[in-house]
């Protein structure tokens, strides 16, 4: 393989795929490095069309597997039908100074094959609130800087939703939303009546409800409402790098993809004051290979991005690339998912629903929006929905054997409503990752140490959600309401952020307004590591928008001879 390129992208997931697409479309010869295996759309979705009874263990994992993999088996969406897109716990160990559940997917497409697909835009409040109220750093950009790039991304990936006119969750470029079911319509009406400042709306999701021509040109088709997305969708109904951005980049003739390539470090050139390339270890042969380029995008997912930069040492940067201020790997954040609630609702027994809606409803953030009006900082999105399962038991006095027993079991049970929170967390310097001094992985790279914990602010937010969700479920008409705190460790949300944050001041941040390292201008970071605060909305659509924006800037700088 040729070893010199115009640009190198480290990671092929949601942001890495977008970096590759944009750079290739601008005419740059681009190498994408993926530490995992290659994945081909459709061909490598082994469970996509299997029924539950066709799986060896009906979807569950054997006890010996669970005992060996206590980490990934806790992850949302993990099961016998999706295990092929998760790495097992021993495949890439790390050191937990405090409990942190680091969920990873090492294959072409990364976690874009198993992501939740929620795509709410940030509002300007999320960009400005941390500095305004003193609980975080100032972003070097605001919402208006990202608006055109949000639109650019939404049109290409396909986001279904409704234009709701909400300050907390700006409207975007949407395909038609999926319909609310009858109980969700009741929820929407009742919440509007009793809580006029709280808005339950159809979710904004990267799923093709009605494909536009650009999606058909990608070879993707309409969602079939199977709700089997994380197995890999043979229709391309949801967005992933494998179905969308990487094939689009490949069509330009400018893309080279190299799987089985663990990035050891980025090489810094003292003479040019820039990075000259990337050192890679071939996972099949153990061979060390150097690839050169004028531009490098680091999109390995937040914690691995911090690991790579921390391991990229030189005479100029003995503590990691661009790390003059010692903040690399610090200010790690995540989303607070600990609050859960559910209840039963009477009525609607003559109604069911058609198909399996792959989206959820959203109650947009209503906390600390226009002013800080609680005893905690930040806000939370609530994901919610109504569902009706089969009966889990036959009523007393009914037959317990025979055909009537089986028919009764197959009848629908009660309607139920669930809610769970996705809360903003405060980025704190003490929440950090760093390299182990004495433990290394199978490639000789230091293990990452996670030292991340909750904060008093998070505890207050959970309490508020539990109180407010109970109030809302009660007004909706629910009985048997249960609210609880999962007490789950940070990381299980799979929304790790920070470590290489953006900012205007090189003394307090590592990246500028275009996601360039302040101290090494030809290295860009546009995955979750770049985040200056966490917001309360799902972050992936922002990563994609920031990536497209930075790639456009980098390509212009490249063509002008600045990089």
Return d(Cα 85, Cα 93) in angstroms, integer. Answer: 17
pLDDT of residue 369: 93
Which helix or strand (DSSP H or E) is residue 113 part of? none
- Residues 440 and 368: beta-carbon distance below 8 Å: no
Return d(Cα 233, Cα 227) in angstroms, integer. Answer: 9
Return d(Cα 552, Cα 7) in angstroms, integer. Answer: 13
Residues in the chain, how many?
Answer: 563
- The 10 Å Cβ neighbour count of residue 404 is 12
**Rg of the chain (C-alpha set):** 24
pLDDT of residue 2: 79
Confidence (pTM): 0.96
Alpha helices in 116-181 (DSSP H): 124-133, 143-157
Largest CA distance in the chain: 85
Burial bucket for residue 266 (CB in 10 Å: 0-12, 13-18, 19+): buried
Main-chain phi, psi angles of 550, to 5 degrees: -70, -40
Burial bucket for residue 526 (CB in 10 Å: 0-12, 13-18, 19+): buried
- Residues 203 and 359: beta-carbon distance below 8 Å: yes
∠270-313-508 over CA atoms, to 5°?
Answer: 90
Residue ranges and CATH numbers for the domains of the chain are: 4-118+236-335+434-441+496-559 (3.50.50.60), 179-201+337-423+454-489 (no CATH)
Return d(Cα 85, Cα 78) in angstroms, integer. Answer: 9
Give the residue carrying structure tokens 């010199």: 4
- Strand, helix or coil at 281? strand
pLDDT of residue 391: 66
Give the residue carrying structure tokens 């400042």: 197
pLDDT of residue 179: 95
pLDDT of residue 408: 77
Return d(Cα 270, Cα 189) in angstroms, integer. Answer: 64
- Residues 222 and 235: beta-carbon distance below 8 Å: yes
Retrieve residue 243's tokens: 């179905």
* Beta-carbon contacts of residue 4 (< 8 Å; ≥ 6 apart): 291, 292, 293
- Residues 293 and 6: beta-carbon distance below 8 Å: yes
pLDDT of residue 145: 98
Retrieve residue 32's tokens: 């994408």
Burial bucket for residue 411 (CB in 10 Å: 0-12, 13-18, 19+): exposed
- Residues 438 and 492: beta-carbon distance below 8 Å: no
Main-chain phi, psi angles of 469, to 5 degrees: -65, -35
563 residues of the chain, pLDDT tens digit each = 579 999 999 999 999 999 999 999 999 999 999 999 999 999 999 999 999 999 999 999 999 999 999 999 999 999 999 999 999 999 999 999 999 999 999 999 999 999 999 999 999 999 999 999 999 999 999 999 999 999 999 999 999 999 999 999 999 999 999 999 999 999 999 999 999 999 999 999 999 999 999 999 999 999 999 999 999 999 999 999 999 999 999 999 999 999 999 999 999 999 999 999 999 999 999 999 999 999 999 999 999 999 999 999 999 999 999 999 999 999 999 999 999 999 999 999 898 888 899 999 999 999 999 999 999 999 999 999 999 987 666 677 777 788 888 877 777 888 999 999 999 999 999 999 999 999 999 999 999 999 999 999 999 999 999 999 999 999 999 999 999 999 999 999 999 999 999 999 999 999 999 999 999 999 999 999 999 999 999 999 999 999 999 999 999 999 999 99
- Decide the pairing of beta strands 339-345 and 412-423: antiparallel
Q: In whole angstroms, what separates CA 420 from the centre of its chain?
A: 17
pLDDT of residue 392: 63
pLDDT of residue 1: 56
């Amino acid at each position: 393989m040729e070893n010199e390129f115009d640009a190198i992208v480290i990671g092929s997931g949601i942001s890495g795929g977008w970096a590759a697409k944009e750079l290739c479309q601008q005419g740059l010869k681009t190498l994408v490095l993926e530490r995992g295996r290659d994945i081909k759309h459709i061909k490598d979705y082994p469970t996509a069309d299997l029924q539950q009874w066709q799986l060896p263990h009906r979807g569950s994992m054997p006890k010996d597997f669970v005992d060996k993999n206590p980490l990934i088996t806790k992850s949302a969406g993990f099961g016998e039908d999706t295990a092929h897109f998760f790495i097992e716990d021993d495949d890439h160990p790390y050191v937990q100074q405090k409990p942190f559940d680091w969920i990873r997917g090492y294959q072409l497409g990364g976690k874009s094959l198993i992501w939740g697909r929620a795509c709410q835009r940030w509002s300007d409040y999320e960009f400005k609130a941390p500095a305004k109220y003193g609980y975080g750093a100032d972003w070097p950009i605001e919402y208006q800087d990202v608006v055109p790039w949000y639109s650019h991304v939404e049109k290409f990936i396909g986001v279904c939703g409704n234009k709701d006119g909400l300050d907390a969750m700006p409207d975007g470029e949407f395909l038609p939303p999926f319909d609310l079911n009858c109980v969700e319509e009741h929820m929407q009406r009742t919440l509007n009546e009793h809580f006029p400042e709280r808005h339950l709306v159809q979710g904004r999701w990267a799923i093709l409800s009605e494909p536009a021509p650009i999606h058909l040109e990608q070879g993707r088709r309409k969602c079939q409402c199977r709700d089997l997305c994380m197995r890999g969708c043979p229709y391309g109904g949801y967005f992933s790098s494998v179905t969308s951005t990487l094939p689009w980049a490949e069509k330009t003739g400018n893309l080279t993809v190299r799987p089985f390539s663990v990035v050891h470090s980025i090489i810094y050139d003292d003479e040019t004051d820039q990075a000259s390339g990337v050192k890679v270890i071939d996972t099949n042969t153990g061979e060390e290979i150097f690839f050169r380029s004028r531009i490098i995008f680091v999109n390995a997912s937040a914690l691995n991005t911090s690991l790579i930069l921390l391991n990229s040492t030189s005479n100029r940067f003995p503590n990691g690339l661009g790390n003059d201020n010692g903040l690399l790997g610090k200010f790690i954040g995540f989303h607070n998912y600990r609050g859960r609630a559910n209840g039963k609702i009477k009525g609607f027994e003559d109604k069911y629903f058609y198909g399996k809606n792959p989206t959820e409803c959203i109650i947009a953030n209503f906390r600390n929006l226009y002013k800080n009006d609680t005893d905690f900082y930040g806000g939370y999105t609530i994901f919610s929905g109504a569902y009706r399962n089969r009966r889990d038991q036959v009523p007393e006095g009914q037959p317990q054997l025979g055909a009537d027993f089986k028919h009764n079991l197959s009848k629908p049970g009660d309607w139920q409503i669930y809610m769970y929170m996705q809360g903003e967390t405060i980025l704190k310097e003490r929440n950090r990752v760093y390299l182990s001094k004495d433990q290394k992985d199978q490639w000789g790279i230091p293990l990452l140490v996670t030292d991340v914990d909750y904060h008093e602010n998070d505890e207050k937010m959970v309490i508020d959600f539990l109180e407010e969700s109970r109030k809302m479920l009660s007004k909706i008409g629910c009985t048997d309401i249960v609210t609880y705190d999962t007490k789950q460790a940070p990381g299980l949300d799979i929304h790790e952020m920070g470590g290489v944050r953006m900012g205007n001041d090189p003394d307090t941040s590592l990246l500028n307004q275009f996601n360039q390292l302040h101290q090494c201008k030809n290295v860009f970071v546009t995955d979750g590591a770049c985040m200056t605060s966490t917001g309360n909305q799902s972050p992936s659509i922002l990563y994609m928008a920031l990536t497209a924006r930075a790639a456009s800037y980098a390509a212009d700088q490249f063509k002008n001879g600045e990089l």
